[in-house]
Amino acid sequence: MKKLYQSLFLSLISLASYGQAVPDWKLGTSMNLMQTDLKETFIAVKNAGIDYLEVGMPKFSKVNVADIIFQVAKYKECADETGLKIWSIHIPYGWDFDISTPDPIIREQCKQYVLFTLEIAKGLGKYEKAILHPSFEPINKEERIGHIAAFRECLKELGPLVEKDYNVRIAVENLPRTCLANSAAETITLVDGIISVDICFDVNHLLGEKSEYFAEKLGKMIKTVHISDYDEENERHWLPGEGVINWNAVVDGLVKGGYDGPFMFEVTKTPWEGDMKKFSKDLVASWKKIQKDYKVYLKKQNQ
DSSP 236-247: --BPTTSS---H
SS3 content of the chain, % helix, strand, coil (to 5): 50, 15, 35
Which residues fall within 8 angstroms of residue 245, CB to CB, at 6 or more apart? 203, 204, 211, 229, 230
| Closest listed residue to residue 91, CA positions, set 124, 125, 116, 65 | 116
Q: Is residue 18 part of a domain?
A: no
Strand locations in 158-206 (E): 169-173, 197-202
Element counts in the chain: helices (H) and strands (E): 9, 8
DSSP label at residue 20: S
Beta-sheet strand order (sheet of 27-32):
222-226, 197-202, 169-173, 129-132, 85-90, 52-56, 27-32, 263-265
Q: In the prediction, which pLDDT does 8 show?
A: 42
pTM of this structure: 0.93
Strand locations in 133-192 (E): 169-173
pLDDT tens digits along 236-287: 999 999 999 999 999 999 999 999 999 999 999 999 999 999 999 999 999 9
Q: In the prediction, which pLDDT does 25 show?
A: 98
The answer to whether the Cα torsion of 209, 212, 215, 216 is positive or negative is negative
Quote the CA–CA distance of 150 and 135 in Å, as a whole number: 10
Q: What is the dihedral of CA 243, 190, 86, 264, to 10 degrees?
A: 20
CB 229 within 8 A of CB 204: yes
CATH classification at residue 254: 3.20.20.150
Low-confidence ranges of the chain (pLDDT < 50): 1-19
Query: What angle do helix axes 104-121 and 65-82 make, rounded to 10 degrees?
Result: 40
Q: In the prediction, which pLDDT does 20 show?
A: 64
Q: Is residue 206 part of a domain?
A: yes
Q: In the prediction, which pLDDT does 302 show?
A: 87
Task: Work out the burial of residue 36: count CB atoms within 10 Å of its CB; fewer than 13 is exposed, 13-18 middle, 19 or more buried.
Answer: exposed
Cα atoms found within 13 Å of the Cα of residue 67, Cβ hemisphere only: 12
Using the CB atoms, write b or e for 227-252: b if 16+ within 10 Å: bbbbebeebbbbbbeebebebbbbbb
Q: Is residue 202 part of a domain?
A: yes
Q: What are phi and psi of 232, to 5 degrees?
A: 70, 5
Full residue range of the structural domain in which residue 113 is found = 24-297
Domain count, the chain: 1
